[in-house]
Structure 1
Amino acid sequence: MNTKRNIKLVVETILVFIGLCFWATYIHRHPLQHDALAKVLFVCTALFQGFWFYRFYIVGHEASHRKLFIASKTANDIVGSIILLPLMTPITVYRKIHLFHHGFNRKDNHTSALDTFTTKNPSLLKKIYYHVLWYISVFFGGLFIHSLVSVILFLFIPPRWARKISPAFEGWTLKDQFQSILLFSLGVGLHLAVYFFFGWEVYLWTMGYPMIAFAWILSLFVYIFHYDTTVGDQVRFNVRSVNRLPFFSWVLMNFNEHATHHQHPNIPWYELPEKRTTLPKDFADKNQNTWSLFSAIFQQIKGPRIIDESKD
């Protein structure tokens, strides 16, 4: 069942992507006569493409957990690597960062807690700075930049130095690094191939604008399941879920069932709704303060957690 379901998933993901490429090229070359409607159509198309790039990200997520093709590790990693090529993200790096997230999610105020800033005796100016940094991170694509920097560090920093930067690099070897650089190069090669074979405008319509939209969507969505949740050793409970919305649940492959995923990371995407697992009461009372996707997004306007370490 796993193989059939995920072959269908991969084929759907690739075919919709190709269809969106043709559609985006068509509407830019044959724009509507009404300029306002044409601009709305262009923006809506780019946003849908951005969400579809997020689909690549979620399929890659399944592959990073080796759930895409359970029977074959090789097939899992090859297909996962191909799906991630438009994002120029090596599955090796993705897996390393993501598994660290699962193992240390909000373990303390310093570890895997993107909404938390620690300092001593924070002044008003420093608090304003942290709030501005947070708003740029969430609402203006900054968390995408954060992810990009993380990938670049894994690719080009010598492993012995990298381990001093973050415990996420523990066990990272030169072999892993060379393999990742190769996969990254293939992703860059895909982008260059589209540019050289089809030209700058087609590249923008099919890869460039969608990547910009993806950067914004990723930053907006990626932390909604962990924002302002509990901090502590029970890392698999420092999370929330939101209710299913047909379009988003289809595109994001039931990622709304995030609390279930963190408690049982081996459950494949298509079984998450039927195997929904509630959080223990103490965690649910704090973390499950909304079941609305949009409320979870807008909660982030509240800003970051600023921890005054001088009071410890």
Structure 2
Amino acid sequence: MAHVDPRHRPLTARLISESVLVALVLGAAAIKLDALDHPLARALIVAVILLQGCWLHRLYVVAHEASHRKLWPAHPGINDALGQLLLLPLMLPLRIHRKIHAFHHGHNRRDERTSALDTFVIPRRTSALGRALNRAWCYLLWYLAVFAGGFFVHSLVSVLLFLAMPMRIARTISPAFKGWRIGDQLRSLASFGLGVGLHVGVAWLLGTRAWALSMGWPLLAFAWVYSLLVYIYHYRTDYGPDVRFHVRGLNRHPIASWWLLNFNEHDTHHRQPKLPWYQLPAHREPLPHAHASNQKYDGIAAAILAQLRGPRIIEIPETPETIENPMPRDPGAST
């Protein structure tokens, strides 16, 4: 960033303090409610766990600022330390998130196979039954990905690949591994270990039930929330070399914009990824005319429900490559 807004440090300090404090309060509330022998308390626990899952998504979005090196831009070490601390409950190494996310920004929907998670390129079967079964399988995978936490599993597999896959093999899997070094892998393993240690430490200090209420079940709630939201800004947008514009912005909602740090301004973020979250609304502008059709939906709820339309399926003549690689070449669903 060429110029750092003088408001940046106090705003960031308040953002981090707020994010951590609310996470602690929600965890404590779940444990406290569990101690109350009352039907209403048990019902409220479910609501609090869902809120914790939503708030883990807030921590993820704040860490996204660190992934772009704009949480604390004057000091890269402080920036990365803060981002990694926020990701510890998710056991996600910041280096891996940054690597996957950089691929997303640099190759977003470059073609139907690259960083296009809603697009299935499959071999065209000769029989009508074979085609119907293939298409049904694609729809099933899509609905599981969006509405049953599948995109979280997809991202988890990506993280494990970055953590454990030998470099020689990794680079044959996806171009996203280009530039990934053994040093990055070792540092990411250390960060992953710290995240696991946090979970084990909470279970050891407070007990497994308290861990489940404050971290375990909320992590599953986060998996669902993350999967619902992760592709709403790119679902059924166009393809091509103008990777910055295969995206949409959504209408501002005061609570959602506060929760997601103006992530609804996603088109602005892709156009100017170095803008901090609080500057995004002021820089909103229409998409270029060639990409204006990407603005199919206005609000977050509408964009989530639109995913019920299912994936785009492209059938091509059957070859060894299409048999082996029917899915998009993207190692992560991270936006």
Answer yes or no: same fold by TM over 0.5. yes
Structure 2 Cα separation of the partners of residues 76 and 280 of structure 1: 33
2:213 alignment counterpart = 205
Note if contact 2:34-2:42 (Cα within 8 Å) is conserved in structure 1: no
Give yes or no for contact 2:33–2:42 (8 Å, CA) kept in 1: no
Equivalent position to 1:120, from 114, 118, 123: 123
The equivalent of 2:283 in structure 1 is 275
Match of 1:15 in 2: 21
Shift of 1:39: 4.3
In the TM superposition, 1:109-258 aligns within 5 A as 109-122=112-125, 123-258=131-266
5+ long unaligned stretches in structure 2: 1-6, 126-130, 319-335
Counterpart of 1:302 in structure 2: which amino acid? Answer: R
TM-aligned CA deviation for residue 192 of structure 1: 0.3
What residue in structure 1 maps to residue 322 of structure 2?
A: none
Q: Residue 52 in 1 paired to residue 58 in 2?
A: no
**Percent of residue pairs bearing the same amino acid type:** 49
Q: Tell me the alpha carbon deviations over residues 188-217 of structure 1, each in whole angstroms, 9 at most, x when there is no partner.
A: 000000001100110011001110100000
Deviations 1:165-210 (CA, angstroms, capped at 9, x unpaired): 0000000000000000000000000000000110011001100111
- The answer for the alignment partner of 1:27 in structure 2 is 33
CA distance in 2, matches of 1:10, 1:115: 33
Out of 70, 73, 78, the position equivalent to 1:70 is 73
Query: Residue 6 of structure 1 corresponds to which residue in structure 2?
Result: 12
Give 1:42 deviation, angstroms.
Answer: 1.8
Partner of 1:102: 105
How far apart, in 2, do the equivalents of 1:230 and 1:74 lie? 37
Which one-letter code corresponds to 2:66 in the other structure? A
Q: CA deviation at 1:47?
A: 1.1
Structure 1 runs not aligned, ≥5 long:
none
Letter in 2 for 1:94: H
Alignment partners' CA distance in 2, 1:29 and 1:257: 41
Which residue of 292, 299, 314 corresponds with 1:292?
A: 299
Distance 1:278 1:265 in 2: 16
In 1, Cα distance between the equivalents of 2:139 and 2:312?
9
What code does the residue aligned with 1:100 have?
F
Amino acid across the alignment from 1:149: V
Secondary structure at the residue paired with 1:49? helix
Q: Which SS does the other structure have where 2:234 is aligned?
A: coil
TM-score normalised according to structure 1 size: 0.96
SS in 1 for 2:282: coil
In the superposition, the TM-score normalised over structure 2's length comes to: 0.90
> For residues 101-129 of structure 1, what are the alpha-carbon distances to aligned partners after superposition, in whole Å with 9 as ceiling and x for unaligned?
00000101110011111012151000000
Residues in 2 aligned to 1:307 and 1:296: alpha-carbon distance in whole angstroms: 22
Structure 1 runs (4+) deviating above 6 angstroms are none
